[in-house]
Chains A and B, each alone.
Chain A
Amino acid sequence: MMDLIAQLAWGPTGWGDELAAGTMVTVSLALATLPFGLAIGLLVALGKTSSEKTLQTAANIYTTIFRGLPELLTLLIVYYGGQIVLQRIFALFTDAYVEVNGFVAGMVALGLVFSAFSSEVFASAFKGIPAGQPEAALALGLTRWQALRLVTLPQLIRLSIGGLSNLWLILLKETSLVSVIALNDLLRNTNVAVGFTKQPLFFYSVALLIYLVLSLISAKGLGTIENHVKRGEQRVA
């Protein structure tokens, strides 16, 4: 047992530093995807709740596609397909090699999926804001953009934080998929460690434990944010 723990040591003899490096990649990938996914998700949600039919249709097609495809497939299509598309585009101008970085591909693919799911959360949050408020804002002379920015969005955070925390936890776990496009995240480094040491039970358990700890930390952090955001709400006794 002790020599198993020793395998987690830092430095050249142990795998501790590789696992830590993998964890850094996992967390940074999730964090990098977040703004991308939230921004697109918000735009798509605006499209869904707009009165313009064509915008609604376009937004609905987007969410239907990205919620309906397996994340693994989306990742492979973005990675290999994006490579081909970019290469064809660039072949028109230059002979140089254009590489789709694994991290960027992961970010884009996971971001697209995240945005599709978060647009649903945002759309139902929009419906949760009484329609009278933006109307009153317009009546007071604010422009639509100002009404959105000053009246709707602050409340949106409060209403969508629950759904978004859930999506964040799912995102953390989905980053494990990038191990198949040769990105050195936690799971891939665990695979390498297992390949060398032939101790799958130990190393995979450690990896799962790390994911669990990340989930716990996230849940705590998001809980604090949620409490802060909902501080004005009256608790129904």
Chain B
Amino acid sequence: MINFKNLAFVALATAIMSSGAFAADWTKIRVGTEGAYKPFNFIDANGELQGFDVEIAKALCAEMKADCTLVAQDWDGIIPALLAKKYDVIIASMSITEERMKTVDFTDKYYNTPARFVAKKGGGISDTTPAGLKGKTLGAQSSTTHSSYLEDNYKDSTVKLYATQDEANADLAAGRLDAVLADSVVILDWLGGDGSCCEHVGETFNEPKWFGLGAGMAIRKEDGELKEKLNTALAAILENGTYKKINDKFFPFPVY
């Protein structure tokens, strides 16, 4: 039975193996992103990936004179897929944290926005310290700096984890959660749309220990050359105004 299984595995794998050894000269780069994190990365009505992260990726690739393809991947499996070589770099608003640096390497940051709680209007939540939120039900997207922060600091509250930010927001709107911790800019986008029920509460959080040094691009540890190229390209677009153009397209304030 096992021999058959292994043979089948190998046979099937050969049949479905995607081709192309991506050469070390990095002329073809595959970029992984989530596609469910408006306005940084999302899928529009035509099924295309759009957003700040997507535009930055395209700008960097143009700068590096490389041919880029975008791949969407569910957030929970985004790092394992990078390690399995499904793509070469993650540009999906991933915060640079020590915990993540154990498995992947990061380029320099390309933006930095703080986290903030959001709760229902008139819900009476104003104190967002662990003591103030004792006994409340809090939500965050799983595998994020926000969920780690809640898990490690808000031990007296119930923490619920969701596969996507949208699901957490939906449960907040429905009243299943008392507050959600998420990126303040992403929430701002939601508050303007479906999130009319809710508002920001409390101050912003940005301690590097939990929230890292900002969002960076994740690459495999052995791809030092790619890291160099990305950093150079990033510095270039910051200088020549391309970054500012993309920034202004999405946000009325600088996010760097």
**A interface residue numbers (CB < 8 A to B):** 40, 43-44, 47, 58-59, 62, 80, 82-87, 89-90, 94-101, 104, 108, 112, 182, 195
Contact = CB atoms under 8 A, between A and B. Distances in A.
A97 B18 contact: yes
A95 B223 CA distance: 13
B71 to A, nearest CB: 10
Contact of B13 (A58, A84, A100): A100
A195 B13 contact: no
Q: Which of B16, B20, B170 has the most CB of A within 10 A?
A: B16
B250 interface: no
A83 B84 CA distance: 7
Given A40-B1, A104-B12, A95 B22 contact: yes
B244 interface: no
B9 interface: yes
A86 B12 CA distance: 10
Contacts of A89: 10
Contacts, number: 62
Interface in B16-38: 16-22
Main DSSP-derived SS at the A contact region: helix
Interface of B: 1, 4-5, 8-10, 12-13, 16-22, 74, 77, 80, 84-86, 166, 170
A62 B16 contact: no
Nearest to B194: A198
Contacts of A83: 80, 84
A195 B166 contact: yes
Given A58-B1, A89-B10, A96 B17 contact: yes
A76 B160 CA distance: 21
Contacts of B80: 80, 83
B77 A96 contact: no
A90 B8 CA distance: 15
B15 to A, nearest CB: 9
A94 B21 contact: yes
A86 B86 contact: no
Nearest to A195: B166
A46 to B, nearest CB: 11
A211 B86 CA distance: 33
B19 A96 contact: yes
Contacts of B19: 96
Contact of B84 (A43, A84, A104, A108): A84
B170 to A, nearest CB: 8
A87 B17 contact: no
Contacts of B85: 87, 95-97
A99 B1 contact: no
Nearest to B8: A108
A58 to B, nearest CB: 7
Contacts of A182: 74
A44 B22 contact: no
B20 A96 contact: yes
A40 B4 contact: yes
Nearest to B10: A89
Given A96-B18, A97-B85, A90 B13 contact: yes
A99 B86 contact: yes
Given A44-B1, A82-B9, A86-B9, A95 B17 contact: no
A7 to B, nearest CB: 15
Contacts of B16: 98-101, 104
Contacts of B5: 108, 112
Contact of A95 (B4, B21, B86): B21
- Name the 6 nearest CB pairs between A and B, nearest first: A97-B85, A95-B21, A96-B21, A87-B84, A86-B13, A101-B16
A86 B170 CA distance: 38
